[in-house]
Structure 1
Amino acid sequence: MANPEVTRLTLDIDARAKNLKALHDGLVKHLLAIGGDKDTALYLISDAEEYGLERALGVLADQPAAFGLDAAPGPADTAKLTTALKAIESGTLELDKIIRQRDHLLAADNPKHPLTFHYLGRLFNFSSARGEVTYLDNGEKVKMKPVGLSSREKLLRDRDRDR
């Protein structure tokens, strides 16, 4: 018989993951409207997670090319981006917390239960032994390979080093 708490957490995870995906899709749509592309959102989210929202928005204003934009967004667009990024950050933290709670319960019954991760609401397991990610929504397996720094990452690294 399934643990009712695991069932409740799974339903909550599914709902929060869908919401996080919708928030991300909304951010992408807004960035497309102001001259970005789908990767602009990923860069912006990653930068905000790594260095903080205020710093990411400062780089966006001072060096929009670091995020693939030709020009800095105006105040209204910046306000929308700020709201979206705060919601994504909050949603990510909450989803992380609930996934950990469920994994803890599942591991109590099965110590070999693989940990679950997510990226913008898409759930997956990672096997370092096999060097692959298995997505839980469709079972797709993706081999992971080491990568170097992208030109954007080099730009940010060099800029930070020179400060």
Structure 2
Amino acid sequence: MQNQDFTTTLIVDQSPAKVFAAINNVCGWWSEEIEGSTDKLNSEFDYHYEDVHRSKMKIVEFIPDKKVVWLVKENYFQFTKDKTEWTGTKIIFEISKVGDKTQVQMTHHGLVPEYECYEICEDSWTNYIQNSLRKLITTGKGTPNAAGKPQTENEKKLSSAN
């Protein structure tokens, strides 16, 4: 049986170049608490959300207006038995034209339903891509985690559990 990686897709009116720029503005849609460069091949950046989730990403593919791939080098979840779920997985953004629109397909390769974090991660990624990244692309302003503020209901529950 093949694992089912998490995938979500959105379609917008903006150009592939604008979409690519928005994806690489990680502080603009995922979290204001990103440290490091998010827009160059082989650069690394750190994400952290309170004491709940920390990860280190490396950009391993960077094809302007077409594709970005992050390798999760390190990961820590405070709320799972296996604190390293995500380590070694890849987060892939593929950009393509669909008629006069632009499609973004985000796949978290290796994030599978067997993971303890899957339900929370699925909810969070769906929100970040379908809401925050979409807003950043279409209006120029996303809704990333502000420093120390949870965004999704699941993140709010995790924060209050601390």
TM-score by length of 1: 0.28
Task: Using CA pairs under 8 Å that are at least 6 residues apart, name the structure with larger relative contact order, 1 or 2.
Answer: 2
Higher helix share: 1
TM-score by length of 2: 0.29
Q: Highest CA radius of gyration, 1 or 2?
A: 1
